[in-house]
Structure 1
Amino acid sequence: MYMGHYPSLTKVATSLGIDARELASKKVIKGGIEGFSRINLERCALNLAESEKWDAFMDVLSLIIYGIVLFPNFENFIDFAAINVFLAFKHEKKSLVPAILADTYHSLTLRHERRVICQCGDFLNVPLMGTKGCVNYNLALAIRQLGYPIRSPPVEDSITPFMVYDMTKELDFLKKIRHSWDRVMKKGRELGKRNCNVEGSYQQWLSERVQHVKLPFRGPIPIIEETPIQEPMSLEEIEKLQEKLAKSEKEKKDMKKELIQARQEYQAAQKEISQARQRVELANKRARIEEEGKLNTRNCLEAAFIELKMRRGERDQARVDGE
């Protein structure tokens, strides 16, 4: 929330560059919530554009987007909650993400119900209105798709379809559809525990209805084509086939021999590689032993040379002392 509470009209007017009394005259209450209609704010934006007050124009336009697109509550209505978020971003540069996440989570929680719409107003089914026409949705026929059992045949009026192709002609009927959504009836536990079972009476009704609309349960009997009887082959054809078979057998044996020979050559090559690797490892081992022996001999000779040098020094010193 902006400053922990809804902003005053004076603060909103100052932020938007609009006279406070003019803004107060445009405030309306819809569903117990205070705000401004989209039409009034658009008029303010046009007046600001004509006066070339572009900063204020951009603020009003942004506020309309906040209330209609980002944080909608009622149709064509910008409430003070959306104004709150807009002012928080405008003055304190607060992120919109927490507010959008909270609003989205609330909407998902509000609409995630276990009950399903079964009827609207005086309609025994659910009328759906699109941009180009209308059609009804029959819950009685789709109840199993929602995981609920069908206990009895549906009422004929509840499955009677209707279609509206021209939205400009049947205005009274469209008005009835629009007002029917003010009285939505939902069912949940009344439909029973979730399963896909059907009662025998429904099966009987379904069979009769399928026969009535000429849709058989069983598919058409598949047509099995008879295999034509082959004529007996001549002796020459049999001999040619036998020659081809013998040739194929010979090629198969030759290929098998070549495969065995290639496998033996591969195994022999692998054996030679293994032996060569062993010889290399043995030669390396001998070279290491010889190198270690040379190193030991060198160390011994150096030690002997040092010892001999010391003895010669002692001998020479003894001669000097004797003289």
Structure 2
Amino acid sequence: MHIISQVHSRACLLIEMATVPEPKRKTCSYSFHREPLTPLAELELRCFTFQDYQLAPTLEEYSILLSIPIQHQTPFLDVPKEIDFRLIARALRLSVEEVSKNWKPCGDVVGLPLKFLLRIAREEAEKGSWEAFHAQLAVMIYGIVLFPSMPNFVDHAAISIFIGRNPIPTLLADTCYAIHSRHGKGGAIRCCLPLLFKWFMSLLPASGPFVDTQSTLKWTQRVMSLTSYDIRWQSHRMNVKNVIMSCGEFRNVPLIGTRGCINYNPVLSLRQLGFVMKGRPLEAEVAESVYFEKKSDPARLEQVGRAWKSIGVKDGSVLGKKFAVAMPDYTDWVKKRVENLLLPYDRMEPLQEQPPLILADSVPAEHYKQALMENRRLREKEQDTHMELYKAKADKLHLAHQLREVQGEEASRLRSKKRSYEEMDSMLDAEHRERLRLQRAEASYQKKIRDLEKQLRDKDAQLKKEMELRQKSEDHLGGEVLELRRQLKEKITPLPECSECSLLIDQCHYLKTLIPEDRLL
């Protein structure tokens, strides 16, 4: 099928590599289509720090973006040492022989070539085996888009993650690990960048000066002009009710990727999920507890795996009401970190008007900002309403004038229609009278036809009777002639010739001419 033949090309478009320039300060920026994806990556906290706020991708956000639920179980740990072809064949709806025959090495990994999976998927689609087709298409997406390792190849790790059906923790782990491991080294991030970019763009303003200036200002200038007031905090993330905050003995969340392990700090991302940032986080909650390559420390990997058997989930009863604001204590802490970090780009003045800062510990600044902006929005709405009311009155007068014109035109049109209807009525009446006349004439002709038919039937019957009488008369005369002939034969004796005999003979010949020949026999 056409969609199968283009899986590889579409997958390649989704996983375009991001180049990493040489860093000049303590932070790094990543490119996506030659535009910086993030202006600041603070490796110690596993987040991106801006002027007065921080952003970091979370398990819950990745789950929402991909529409894949998070399984509260131990995620993908590592590729099994022994390859279970039966398990792989059952997951991909293939035979064990097909899997084992096409299982090949590629670089330092093993797996199935994309060419083989494309061919099998195309055959399944042609046969209408959609369950097998969907499984094979899904594993290709896992191997080419979500967890790529080698070009045109789906490795054992991607297949194992597909079988485990819990890819979100591994995706976030690969994202954080790739950013952390590539920091200061240059090169390209081979995975997760499209998803990271989609997450980042979902937080940026979708309208207003940030969008209006995209043709006049550089990307970095527009991003560095944003403040916490500009970020779209309250979006689809407001539906998140439960947040994974810790695992086992770790106060944060240790993640296991395809190549390494790294922790991330959900306490820094609560505002993204709609909760209140009450104050600066505790040191234990943002400590760099995990960061290592899996092959280098198997014991540590097992410890992280055991931690996922005890997942610490918190809900609104612990995290508080959803208002997506930050308290001054947290905001001050972020600003102090910004002063020490040195942002990689020059700070820009906000593109849109910011609400005044309220220096009160008892009232959150964001509460006042939102109330102030709501008041301003209502005043603007009131002005717009007055303008709409004025326009509505003008439209009403205009419509009334148009109504009078339409009514005059309608009256004239009705009079014209009335005349037309009267003419049509007279025409129909004349046509009706003509039709009645024709019907009466037709009835008269029908009666005459019936009378003539009756006369013809009577005449025919009379002729038949006359023919019967004539036939009977002819039959009677024929019988008499035969009788006379017989009598004549008996009584006639040869007589001498005389005038009387000649007369009798002539009479007999005459009578013979009167009787048909078939009567004489």
> Normalising to structure 1: TM-score of the pair?
0.40
Q: Which has the higher contact order (CA 8 A, sep 6+)?
A: 2
Larger Rg: 2
